[in-house]
Structure 1
């Protein structure tokens, strides 16, 4: 419960930092590469982007269906590590605020539902807090720990587990790509999110190894 409350608190602090960086008149850096200008705008990738919100819900659903101590441990582990990653990212948002231009977002000829989703996204999330990408960070941690959960708990047969793990990684990679194809982020933001995810995973693995040696 405490870990979940911390995660929710960090979601609120993300929104507050986002609003502050977009309204306080701060100097915002633009961190981009040449490949960003070559990356096309693909409006329908927005559906991959918003599916990010389903990932934690999916993990929680699995634990609801399998309320074992091991399943609960995996959920707390992922939420705890995600909280650590988000905390690190938010320190960066404050110290090194970045901004992403939306000038290439052209919704002419796009269906009304997709336009509505874009409008809601843009009104709720100002184009700051870009580097590293929280979307990429949390999605990468979800893919790692959810597949770790599937393999270690052995809920399904080997073949089904492999298929599910592949699908989870395809889903997460689609989310990473969506951040740049809908012009919500630049490529350095994606790399930054993956680096932070890798660092917190490494920290957790080293901690678990040292803990097991002491026991």
Structure 2
């Protein structure tokens, strides 16, 4: 395989991105993967959500007793918004090397497969998020700083597409990818500190009444499955001995 050829694990569609992998000091692929993730996965989510609202069907009630353990907590919105850190986290952690760029594209591929599975579930077995009404009732009498954030969120995120939680599955996938890229390059406490942060994110999703506990569990299972069965084996197969871009001289990684 020639040095400029992409690893065989990557889809051919990424060839144009791969050919410009050293653009922007090596950050081009990272920014491109983030943009493609937002467009494809975010766009697909909104399309399936609009269809679910139009259809107005819920095939079962995914509430369990566990949902009563978490009362509506408006200030949890502050932690909930950390959800949007996990995509840029993996981009920031990727070394600007052949292996780092390929890892980001493989993560994108895994995210697309995960999203397609989730979209199919949303269409075949739609569920309504019943517990959101608890938070809406709380907000009517609340003066919390978080009220405008909930109002903005509710404008675009209707109470459907509940299970498996794509928020949970994607954030887990991005976190596992970031940790894979961090190992050996960052202090161990930095690597593992993200797990308590992710656990806090799960709590905030329940406390903001954005998902049922069942949605959280199934989302975590979906994210772990795509990691174990698809992404982790492909990351492990990537070659070593790459050259870092940006310091002015080659550096083996």
1:46–1:178 Cα contact (<8 Å) kept: yes
Query: CA RMSD of the aligned region, Å?
Result: 2.4
Structure 2 matches for 1:29-178, cutoff 5 A? Answer: 29-63=60-94, 66-101=95-130, 102-105=132-135, 106-107=138-139, 108-111=141-144, 113-151=145-183, 154-156=184-186, 160=187, 162-178=188-204
Counterpart for residue 192 of structure 1? 218
2:60–2:127 Cα contact (<8 Å) kept: yes
Unmatched 5+ residue regions in structure 1? none
TM superposition shift of 1:6: 5.7
Change in CA separation of 1:209 and 1:34 when aligned onto 2, cut-off 3 Å: same
Larger Rg: 2
TM superposition shift of 1:210: 10
- Provide the rounded CA distance (Å) in 1 between the counterparts of 2:48 and 2:108: 21
Unmatched 5+ residue regions in structure 2? 1-12, 15-31, 239-253
TM superposition shift of 1:155: 2.3
After TM superposition, the score normalised by the length of structure 2 is 0.73
TM superposition shift of 1:28: 4.5
User: Of Structure 1 and Structure 2, which has the larger fraction of its residues in helix?
Assistant: 1
After TM superposition, the score normalised by the length of structure 1 is 0.85
Q: How many residues align?
A: 203
Secondary structure of the equivalent of 2:181? helix
Bigger shift: 99-108 or 21-30? 21-30
